[in-house]
C-alpha cells in the first residue's frame, strides 16, 4: 500500500515538535467577511497544542477571529509542512504581555528583547491563540517512499526536481 502523502494526526510526532520548537515563520490563516480567506506570515509560539501569535486588535486577522473564531497555522520547512487548525480567540489584558514576551524571546536576541518594543517596531496589543485541534502534516519522505516502491532509486529521482529556494 502506498504511503499517504499527508496525514491527519491526534498528536504531532517528535519530528514535528522539533520543527515547531524552532524560530520559524508560520502562515496564519483566518476567515473574513463573506468567507474571504486571509493568510499572512507571522512569528508564533507553540505550546500545549496551541499556537500563540502576537497581533494588533485592529489587524485583519484579529477582526476575522472576532467575527469567525477559527484559524489555522501552517509551518513550512525543508522536509515538508505542519498544520494546526481549530478554535481561535484573542487574549488581551491579563496575561497578554507575558505571552507576547514569550513569542518575542523565540525570535530576538537578548539585546533585541530589550529594545524591540520600545523602538516602536511592535505595536501589538493582543495575542491570537489558535488551538491545534486538527493536525495535519506532509513530508517529502512520503514521496520518496512511493518513488522507491515504484522501482526507482532516490538517486535517479533526485534529477526530477527543480531545487526550491528558501
pTM (2 d.p.): 0.84
117 CB contacts (<8 Å, ≥6 apart)?
Answer: 104
Using CA atoms in the order 123, 72, 69, 97, what is the torsion angle rounded to 10 degrees? -30
Question: What pLDDT sits at residue 121?
Answer: 65
Question: What pLDDT sits at residue 7?
Answer: 62
Question: What pLDDT sits at residue 1?
Answer: 30
First to last CA, the chain: 32
Domain boundaries, the chain: 7-140
For every residue of 112-159, DSSP letters joined together read HHHHTTTTTS----EEEEEE--EEEEEEHHHHHHHHHHTT--HHHHGG
Question: What pLDDT sits at residue 51?
Answer: 98
Question: What pLDDT sits at residue 122?
Answer: 66
* Owner of C-alpha cell 526536481: 161
Q: Per CATH, is 7-140 categorized as 2.40.110.10?
A: no
Question: What pLDDT sits at residue 6?
Answer: 54
126: Cα separation from own chain's centroid: 18
- Among 88, 124, 106, CA closest to 44: 106
- 3-state secondary structure string across 26-39: EEEEEECHHHCEEE
Tens digits of pLDDT across the chain (166 residues): 334 555 667 889 898 999 999 999 999 999 998 899 999 999 999 999 999 999 999 999 999 999 999 999 999 998 889 999 999 999 998 888 899 999 999 999 988 888 887 776 667 899 999 999 999 998 877 777 778 888 888 788 878 878 777 6
Amino acid at each position: 500500500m502506498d504511503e499517504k502523502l499527508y496525514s491527519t494526526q491526534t498528536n504531532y510526532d517528535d519530528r514535528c515538535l522539533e520543527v515547531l520548537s524552532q524560530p520559524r515563520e508560520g502562515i496564519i490563516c483566518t476567515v473574513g467577511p463573506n468567507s474571504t480567506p486571509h493568510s499572512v506570515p507571522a512569528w508564533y509560539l507553540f505550546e500545549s497544542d496551541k499556537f500563540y501569535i502576537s497581533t494588533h486588535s485592529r489587524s485583519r486577522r484579529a477582526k476575522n477571529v472576532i467575527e469567525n473564531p477559527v484559524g489555522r497555522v501552517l509551518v513550512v520547512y525543508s522536509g515538508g509542512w505542519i498544520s494546526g487548525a481549530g478554535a481561535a480567540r484573542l487574549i488581551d489584558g491579563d496575561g497578554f504581555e507575558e505571552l507576547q514576551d514569550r513569542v518575542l524571546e523565540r525570535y530576538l536576541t537578548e539585546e533585541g528583547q530589550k529594545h524591540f518594543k520600545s523602538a516602536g517596531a511592535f505595536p501589538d496589543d493582543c495575542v491570537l491563540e489558535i488551538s491545534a485541534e486538527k493536525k495535519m502534516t506532509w513530508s517529502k519522505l512520503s514521496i520518496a517512499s512511493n518513488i522507491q516502491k515504484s522501482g526507482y532509486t532516490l538517486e535517479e529521482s533526485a534529477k526530477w526536481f527543480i531545487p526550491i529556494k528558501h
